[in-house]
Structure 1
């Protein structure tokens, strides 16, 4: 198992301080993804510079993290001083005045260096409300050696028809390799992040311009039918339980020929200390389902970011920590300890202008292109901000409920048409209850 990932659903709570008389302890809620776990191993650098601040970590599987921080901030529980949240929460929580703006990150922090799509996604009314620790879009990761052995060439802009054919060909010729690995674990940020993007690659959104749910549209039907077909025929057993970390582990063990997921995965699958196939990985855009699909490959846009809840009594110390963890100096610290290829990606223009990084990270250009091609803004046929999610309060519960129906389709306990009909019914009910539909 990938050594940075904790067991699903588990929480790790521990304190770091090199100073016996620490005046303040920051409780930090974070996700059990590799970059975040690595940060915890490097925080001695922070505590040495801030001996009056101790750090108490609460590390959670991402579905659990989302539930815990949402409940805490909505109820003003005050359990956390720093929260790891994403581009979904920031505009909603900032509007509700649940977050403090980050206005004292330091003279050398350089907010303008944050990539424009990411800075905009984490801002409201011209103020930054969360600082990106790492940011991502979506891409295709694949095994170049398996493609060569099968006589396949990954197109510069793959479509899902090619992906399905390649998955079949490689699966049938390699008994120990799955043709494709995709997210199946239910959750609005797990399987629905993937499926929302796949449906968009077929020209479908979550809602039309009048907020009518679209789960029974042609685009969603085409996407989910193909998703279930390739997952059940060419994917790993128990795929309905696999999220990002589980698929990462499978890929690093050499068990997956292709994996469509977050661009942040690229640094892990090419790290020879973590991946058995580090020198065999190629990168391509997220596939299209139709010609000229949206955003040059139906990319998503996400940033795991650090924010301060409005009720925190330790805002100054919290902002000092956030400044340290999301700074250029932190990137240099990771480079010194782990190598440039392992620096948290997707956040700063200066990183992609640094030849040390671009030479060490063969995925840098693909990551930057995917982020820059992701446009989450409101469109004539899309009344919400977001790509793989809709930035409305109702989406968190709705997306998770629909994700459970999609997982049921993958596991074989529900036909696709029935799962989509149930998703549509659930969505109509929730959107009516929320006042979007009359």
Structure 2
């Protein structure tokens, strides 16, 4: 039976005990569906490697980031494998916090999608192995769009999305025209809002590292987002992240959902989604007149901290979980539609996958179109897409995410939130020595 994403509380530890002399590894991971499936397949790993005991700590995304960041920065050694993003991998690799990864020839590192591999490489050394990769796109209900008398354009704008969402909303039937991330966090609501801002022509900083929240593009972005969530979003949206919106969409309570391409399998599988036969996909929207879709490029990766006491066993598990044989195993057990996407070129050349996954072409198109070296139409001194690839961003992004969530919760105005974001970010950047 396929495991779907569930909130597993603050932490869930599960040990698969194999022998008294086993090398024990502890894996910290996020409570997303693909990782929960990986945890459920641990017995398959143990069958091949009975000398390695695997312990799992499964955490909600924000908590995971807090725990692993604290542990690695202090050299705590609590975890042998970390599930981290392509934001952390190059920064932590440069800081000497992660071990470089080398695999056997059968692993075929060259099969990794170039953009994904490049984001995990520092000085020609790979510091994380991608478990799945993603960009972002628009998922929508074809029946509700047709009922609203609309047709999805090949190149949708935010103006079209706003109009369609309001027309698709039917509160009496429990249908929200659109579901978007509202939960505070640099990798939660700010993944969506920062990407939206890029597609509106905004940027986090100018070329002198001066924050740009006082510029009209940010005002237009946040006002559009807040108005849209009020008019067509679900109640309690400030508490909704990826998993919460996924559940709403699967239950038929969202007309549209703009989020990770990795969600494609979860909304297309009739075993999990009540609207699987009514879902279609489109490229991430852009603002009319702005030539930038802003769709992000992200990967969840398995990495080994230098503090691990069982690095060899950890590498053995990572190689098992991220090679082509794992993909084939998942396909055999749960169908090709459910394999981890977005990491290997060969997957998008596999006709079995393309036939089973109606979202595959749009997901690959989005990943190919994402350019993290030019996240904004404006000249900027950073890379990163939905994040800014500097160590200070984690703190800044978290703070701004809290301010944005307060707007959605009705606790702050757009102007006040942006003013606080500007002053807070200016202070943090001065403290870090930028722009001097």
TM over 0.5: yes
- 2:49 is the counterpart of 1:53: no
Structure 2 portions without partners, runs of 5+: none
Match of 2:226 in 1: 228
Deviations 1:4-54 (A, max 9, x none): 33326521101124x233421110000000000011111211111111001
Deviation at 1:175, TM superposition (A): 3.5
- 2:378 is the counterpart of 1:374: no
| Correspondence 1:392-403 to 2 at 5 A | 392-403=390-401
Distance in 1 between the 2:290 and 2:226 partners? Answer: 23
Match of 1:84 in 2: 83
SS at match of 1:275: coil
Question: For the aligned residues, what is the CA RMSD?
Answer: 1.4
Deviation at 1:288, TM superposition (A): 0.1
Number of paired residues? 433
| Correspondence 1:282-297 to 2 at 5 A | 282-294=280-292, 297=293
Distance 1:214 1:9, change over 3 A: farther
Deviation at 1:291, TM superposition (A): 2.6
Match of 1:67 in 2: 66
Distance in 2 between the 1:398 and 1:333 partners? Answer: 40
Match of 1:32 in 2: 31
Match of 1:350 in 2: 346
Deviations 1:160-199 (A, max 9, x none): 0000100111115863200010000000000000000000
Match of 1:100 in 2: 99
- 2:330 is the counterpart of 1:334: yes
Distance 1:413 1:8, change over 3 A: farther
Distance in 2 between the 1:427 and 1:5 partners? Answer: 34
Deviation at 1:436, TM superposition (A): 0.6
Deviation at 1:312, TM superposition (A): 1.2
Question: Is the 1:73–1:309 Cα contact (8 Å) retained in structure 2?
Answer: yes
Match of 1:408 among 366, 385, 406: 406
Distance in 2 between the 1:420 and 1:290 partners? Answer: 23
SS at match of 2:107: coil
Distance 1:209 1:9, change over 3 A: farther
Which TM-score applies when normalising by structure 1? 0.96
Deviations 1:396-416 (A, max 9, x none): 011010001001111111110
Match of 1:434 in 2: 432
Q: Which runs of 4+ in 1 moved over 4 A?
A: none
Match of 1:4 in 2: 4
Structure 1 portions without partners, runs of 5+: none
Deviation at 1:293, TM superposition (A): 2.5
Question: Is the 1:405–1:423 Cα contact (8 Å) retained in structure 2?
Answer: yes
Question: Is the 1:22–1:54 Cα contact (8 Å) retained in structure 2?
Answer: no
Match of 2:173 in 1: 175
Match of 1:319 in 2: 315
